[in-house]
Amino acid sequence: MKQSVYLETTIISYLAARPSRDLIVAGHQQITLEWWEKVSPKFQCYVSEVVIEESEKGDIEVSKKRLDLISGFQVLAVNEEIKKIASIFFEQLRIREKSRLDSFHLATACWYKMDYLLSWNCKHIVSGSVRKLLNEINEELKIHIPIICTPEELMEV
């Protein structure tokens, strides 16, 4: 059975975006493309309603490309329990209001017991301090803790 991976919106956005002139972002785009082509087939990939919502925003052409990329993936519904968990994460991880949906990505991956949560959001998701605090919160709540990482960290499967 394949391991599960929840793809947060930055993964899809990096794949759909025009090549960046910023060297770091361009590197992340290239790593994401390599992960997508070589590694993603080894996983059962999931997105959530939140990923769909975020992917629909912005430039119509790029939005369509994002939605096309994830069209074959199972979409995880956001239920009331996920909303409660997201609220706890939002408060305890001190996520800013404009980034509130990041708490839903974390809550969804935890609730559905994903093996991995893949993201390039190194401020609110793939951050050492966030991972440490999330582990503490989840141990207290007795809920699953996925491995949170970037595509670069999940290349060797």
According to the 3-state scheme, what is the secondary structure of 82-126?
Answer: HHHHHHHHHHHCCCCHHHCHHHHHHHHHHHCCCCEEECCCCCCCC
- pLDDT tens series, the chain, 157 aa: 899 999 999 999 999 999 999 999 999 999 999 999 999 999 999 999 999 999 999 999 999 999 999 999 999 999 999 999 999 999 998 888 888 899 999 999 999 999 999 999 988 899 899 999 999 999 999 999 999 999 999 998 6
Separation of alpha carbons 36 and 142, rounded Å: 32
Domains of the chain (ranges plus CATH)? Answer: 3-154 (3.40.50.1010)
Separation of alpha carbons 82 and 33, rounded Å: 30
Specify the pLDDT at position 123: 86
pTM surpassing 0.75? Answer: yes
Nearest in space to 115 (alpha carbons), one of 88, 137, 145, 136: 145
**Burial readout 16-47 (b: 16 or more C-beta within 10 A, e: otherwise):** bbeeeeeeeeeebbebbeebbeebbeebebbb
Specify the pLDDT at position 20: 95
Specify the pLDDT at position 95: 87
